[in-house]
Amino acid sequence: MSLFKRSLAECFGTFWLVFGGCGSAIFAAAFPGLGIGFAGVALAFGLTVLTMAYAIGHISGCHLNPAVTAGLVAGKRFPAREALPYIIAQVLGAFIGAGLLFIIASGKDGFSTATGFASNGYGPHSPGGYSLVACFVAEAVLTAFFLLVIMGSTDARAPKGFAPIAIGLCLTLIHLISIPITNTSVNPARSTGQAIFVGGWAISQLWLFWVAPLLGGVLGGVLYNGLAGKQD
């Protein structure tokens, strides 16, 4: 499969992650009387990854996340020379997903991105008011464990066919933990798409949602190799 086609699959997949996950947060989380709340949003993000893992995992590996790509490079599961096209495709897919969400959300009177538009933040822009340090640690640690689950469940020695379920449930758990802390990133592309449309504070705080997940992803990839060694 060509790098272009694999990158295009990453674009489509990341679009679905943002459209489904952030869309659930924007439209359904607090819907009067029927809102799905944090748990519903967490499940929505997990389902986007689970469904795309089955849909495009055999095409691109279904990274959908620059931190995952970086972690797989660090864990020697993905060639470094192909990382940049994947990351560009992921950010583009997130931007398209956020753009379509913006168009839909703008169809309601009184809509404003001032309410956050499912963007990520720390300090006064953290849902629970958590500090920069707390948010950085949460994002780095959770991304590291996400990589451990990804690499472990896709290891040649792991049971076959269950990796998408393990990865989707892991992302659900990550959101259950960290929506109150940062609104959950663990994915620089997902954060970038929303921040572009919010602007201002979301752009100024975006650095954390690149640095912490990338650091955590690399750490997770290296740790898994240290724990598990080479695949047979």
For position 116, what pLDDT does the model report? 84
Q: How many domains does the chain have?
A: 1
Confidence at residue 201, expressed as pLDDT on a 0 to 100 scale: 96
Listed in sequence order, the residues at least 6 apart from 224 whose beta carbon sits closer than 8 Å to its beta carbon are 75, 147, 148, 151, 152
Which range of residues forms the domain containing residue 60? 3-228
Q: Where are the beta strands (DSSP E) in 114-217?
A: none
Mean pLDDT by 10 residues, the chain (232 residues): 96 98 94 91 98 97 98 96 98 98 94 92 97 98 98 93 96 98 98 97 98 98 88 58
Contact status, residue 205 vs residue 212, Cβ threshold 8 Å: no
CATH of the domain at 58: 1.20.1080.10
Position 199 scores a pLDDT of 95
What's the half-sphere exposure (Cβ side, CA atoms, 13 Å) at 59? 20
> For position 73, what pLDDT does the model report?
97
